[in-house]
Structure 1
Amino acid sequence: MSQNRFYRITILIFSLLFLNIVILQAGIHAPKGEENKIKLKIKGKERTYYELDENGLNYKGVGKKFEMGDSIRIGIYSRSIKAQTGKKIRNYGFTVQIDNGKPQKLKYNKSGSNVTSADRPGWNYTQSGVWFVYLPVKEKGYKIKVEPLKGNPVVYVRVSSKKLKKRGKFGDVLKTVNRQDRWRIETQIEKEIKTTHWYPLKKDKQLQYEINGPASVKVFTRVEFDNGNPKDDYYMRIREDGYDLG
């Protein structure tokens, strides 16, 4: 979508809700084909990672072992290799595409760690780069494609899926701390009309919330269209204490 079209769309953010979530039943996924793998010793346990070569890594059926109606968290963990001496920081990145969606570019700047591998003595590995995405379970699972960026050092990837279980009820509805106007939206469900409050997120504006953690937060969005096309995409960025979350 062009930039002009993007700014003709108003994104509406529903007041944030606290949600108590428990992570259950982890699953680790291997990519298709014969890919190089390495076992890394992390906090006394061995974890299998796969090398991200120029052909990328392709995963199929991610999350399909869970039941329909469940929600899952897909985690993509990554590390780069580094010598025990030399540069303290490694820069690397890759793109992640889920099904036929738009590829998401991820870039990391990671320092070294105490993680080692018996497969490659004398080397260690960076701190983990982590990216999570929360999705409903699909009958055949999700296809995930991970492709390296140009100029990458050697990168290793680990993909997991975990079931989410909601515990308790929604907590308080949160209000912005930077005094933003709210819009009232009425939704008719059969004969009942329900009113909820939403915050408009417009060009060059921010919605700021103060949240006491640890807590899980759920964000709902709607779009007001003025160009008559209900299929336009829209984007927003979420930050915590100045750091991009997605």
Structure 2
Amino acid sequence: MADPAVSVLKRAVELDEASRFQESLVCYQEGIALLLQVLKVTKDERKKAHYRDKITHYMNRAEDIKEYLKKEKEDGKYHKQIKIEENTKGFSYEKLFQEYLSETVTEVWVEDPYIRHVHQLYNFLRFCEMLVKGRCKVKRIHLLTSHDEGNGRTQQINSLEEIRQSLEDFGVTLDVSYSSSIHDREIRFNNGWTIKIGRGLDYFKKPQGRFCLGYCDFDLRPCHETTVDIFHIKHTKKT
């Protein structure tokens, strides 16, 4: 029964040693909860004492990490990083963004130079659908992207115009701007959260076929390797 707890806590230690403290804290908390369940059903007193010692040790380390992260926030160094490994699943837009889309969000800025090709336009459409369906009250979306340099420019402009008109039906205004010098990818919400994804919204792999799992549900779609960096302006000191 202790095997799942051991596995999770082993992962917590690995993340801790790699200085991935936010992720390690989650694993420590999950592993401690599993170990507490094991402790409840254990009859052998020596094993119970062993589990108590382990729980105390991991709880102390988890508290140390909490204090460290708290100080980072107070010092204006708040930074959460998520590493999406190659071919992993479970990173739909809902899973990635919903934690930061509170009811106070009314305005969103998307800066991504690659909202050009058909699949990238569909990615942006799915992102807009998530905003409309979520608990946030988005009224305006700003998109800054770059023009398609090939024959797809007309399709790009027409597709974004169609998305704009569709959003109007839901009471949302879409402002589209183009820049030939944009390179960075960034998404900002007016509640202070900023999310930077190495590959922008285009981090999903092409599905194997139209009738394969993951074609519609992006939680089941394999991902390209990328890094997600999350900041909050409340915790970022300006120079």
The two structures share one fold, judged by TM-score above 0.5: no
More helix by share: 2
Greater per-residue strand proportion: 1
Report 1 or 2 for greater relative contact order, CA contacts < 8 Å, sequence distance ≥ 6.
1
Q: TM-score, normalised by structure 1?
A: 0.21
Per the normalisation by structure 2, the TM-score is 0.21
